[in-house]
A and B are shown apart, each in its own frame.
Chain A
Amino acid sequence: MPEQLAFAMEVFLNGLMSGVLYALVALGFVLIYKASGIFNFAQGVMALFAAMTLVGIQNGQVPFAHLINAVLGTHIHHFGWHIHSVLALILTVGVMVLLAVAIQKFVFRHLVGQEPIILFMATIGLAYFLEGFADLMWNSEIKKLEFCLAGTTCLPQGINLAIDEATYNWFGYGFFIDNLDITATIVAIILVIALVAFSQYTKQGRAMRAVADDHQAALSVGISLNFIWVLVWSVAGFVALVAGIMWGAKSGVQFSLSLIALKALPVLMLGGFTSIPGAIIGGLIIGVGEKLFEFWVGPLVGGATENWFAYVLALVFLVFRPQGLFGEKIIERV
């Protein structure tokens, strides 16, 4: 087997893995968009906020320590305890639910019936607010995220030796696949199955789909819109938390984490804003496409094409199919 082809295959596989991570972020967008028609630009910042909260709780940081020190002249920074990852995870989910309630209560309840583009801009404002808030709460230095279930079973890092060896024996070339990416893929698959099961087989899930279909009809059969929206934002917060853990373990919890939202946007455009399978397939296409493009064309044009390739691909694609791959057909009436 030629070296070049094996190398391309490795790039392809890595692209699939990063595509899964994009899809994970895109999922959060789709959930909120379907249920409330809000295009939530703050999803990436929510991932950042969730990851920072998790690390902060784990390490026993004092929230707003920076602010308190500046105002009162004290020098507090840590409580001095370490909390187990699972407990911290549960606490963080609680914080995300609180956040969902607050967002619904203070922002979107007052914006019901506004044009979608106004709602979109509100989420941009929300993204700025949350970003500053997270930095104030847990300070903005780069943090290391270690997530351990019990004892020493942590999120794995580094090259997967089994795959390396197996592919070396087959092709004479060892593939470099990150253990973390494999874990992320498995977690993403479980998450998607859980979400589908939740929306298909539970009462709340059904109510969620009803709201997504038609707000007024849902209201008339006695579904509380307020509750469903809080629920949806909580679920999106949970998805953001999972995405935040995966990306945070990969590259550290820092500001750039919020930029993954920008990577998820072309995924959404490609897959359609309203489709969960679309988010996943779009993520895979973008992940593989940008890695292969960088591999073959990147060296010719100076590299770093990953910054824009996804957008241009989505843009070109949209010109031919304006609603994305799996989006609902856009019908316009006067």
Chain B
Amino acid sequence: MFYREAGDFKTSYAADNQTFPIKFDRMGYYTALVIAFLVVPFIINDYWANAILLPFLIYAIAALGLNILVGYCGQVSLGTGGFMAVGAYACYKLMTSMPEVNIFFHIIISGGITGLVCVLFGLPSLRIKGFYLAVATLAAQFFLVWLFNRVPWFYNYSASGQINAPERSVFGIEVTGPNTEAWATYLFCLVFLVASALIARNMTRGMAGRKWMAIRDMDIAAEIIGVNPLKAKISAFAVSGFFVGISGALFFSVYLGAVEVGEAFGINKSFLVLFMIIIGGLGSIFGSFAGAAFLVLLPVVLKVVGVDWLGWPTDMVAHLQLVIVGGMIVMFLILEPHGLAQLWRVTKQKLRLWPFPH
């Protein structure tokens, strides 16, 4: 009835190519933005911020980054944890060595540094493909974590080997350190997420994104029609690294505050982000959000149901969570290889015809 493109006339190419061609979608998008920016900050409390919203925002950025590499460019990476660590440590070094610069720029620069590191480890992708590449990116994961553990320069020679985020503020409002307000950290991360999503969306539907997708679908054919595989792959690694680095920097400075690299950025983080984009949908911006939300909410829901309601021991709920996550991955790959995003697309298609499907 209301979910139609009928009557919604486009008079320019720009209008025809917009992300949300249906008016109802557009309204929904603006409503979501308004709620996220103007309503949530007033009702947020510490529990919601720390247990759900902050991890969701930060993982969504990481998932966006990884989705560009895996979903759009087809280069499977298992090194996300290591690259997030690069972002975190770059941010830490910048924050401590240049305290006068705003943390906003620190985070963006750490994204850039991570992009460079990511390109370095992506170079072999020109020779190595498929599984071999997936395994090769594990080299990045293990090497980077080891590096940050063993070279004292990275953690400023602190005795514990941990890094701690110093207190920094934006417009006079603290966003890192122990005395932050929930709404401030939330808004700070939200700004980064919205900006990342806009950039990612526009890159993936532009020339860069089309080249990535051509490489993903068949790299030799893409090369023959004039896509430079070197540029396409390297740019995918760089952009992906940029987003992953930003999320790593936020994860350390805003969310955790103190980080021990092996624990926070281990191999499990790589798999977690990979699972997010599989469940959410490979090659979809919406999927990155959906997957991140799903895998952030699942442990919380399981904990509430298992531990608080049923009174089961915590470790058993943790094991059950592994079973459920693993089972869901397999189930999604069998039933819907394109993830939650595809379910959403199907729903939208149905909605267009509803209530008269014939």
Q: Which residues of A contact B (CB under 8 A)?
A: 39, 66-67, 70, 107, 110-111, 114, 116-118, 120-122, 124-133, 135-136, 140, 262, 265-266, 268-269, 273, 301-305, 307-308, 311-312, 314-315, 318-319, 322, 324, 330, 332-334
Contact = CB atoms under 8 A, between A and B. Distances in A.
B278 interface: yes
B333 A334 contact: no
Given A125-B330, A332-B220, A334-B224, 11 more contacts: A67-B316, A70-B310, A107-B334, A114-B337, A128-B325, A132-B320, A135-B322, A265-B135, A301-B150, A318-B136, A319-B124
Contacts of B184: none
Nearest to B121: A315
B187 interface: no
Interface string B303-343: 00000001111011001111111111110011001000000
B328 to A, nearest CB: 8
B116 to A, nearest CB: 18
Interface of B: 74, 76, 124, 127-132, 134-136, 138-139, 142-143, 145-146, 149-151, 218, 220-221, 224, 267, 271, 274-275, 278, 310-313, 315-316, 319-330, 333-334, 337
Given A136-B316, A318-B124, A312 B139 contact: yes
A311 B136 contact: yes
B319 A135 contact: yes
A308 B143 contact: yes
A269 B151 CA distance: 28
A149 to B, nearest CB: 33
Contacts of B315: 140
Given A301-B150, A304-B150, A318-B136, A117 B130 contact: yes
Nearest to B82: A308
Contacts of A132: 319-326
Given A135-B322, A311-B142, A66 B313 contact: yes
Nearest to A130: B326
Nearest to A66: B316
Contact of B138 (A66, A110, A265): A265
Contacts of A330: 129
A66 B337 CA distance: 34
30 contacts: A66-B316, A70-B310, A70-B311, A70-B313, A107-B330, A111-B333, A117-B74, A117-B130, A117-B134, A121-B278, A125-B329, A129-B323, A129-B325, A129-B330, A132-B320, A136-B319, A262-B138, A265-B135, A273-B132, A307-B142, A311-B135, A311-B136, A311-B143, A314-B136, A315-B136, A318-B127, A318-B136, A319-B127, A334-B218, A334-B220
A107 B124 CA distance: 32
B327 A318 contact: no
A45 to B, nearest CB: 10
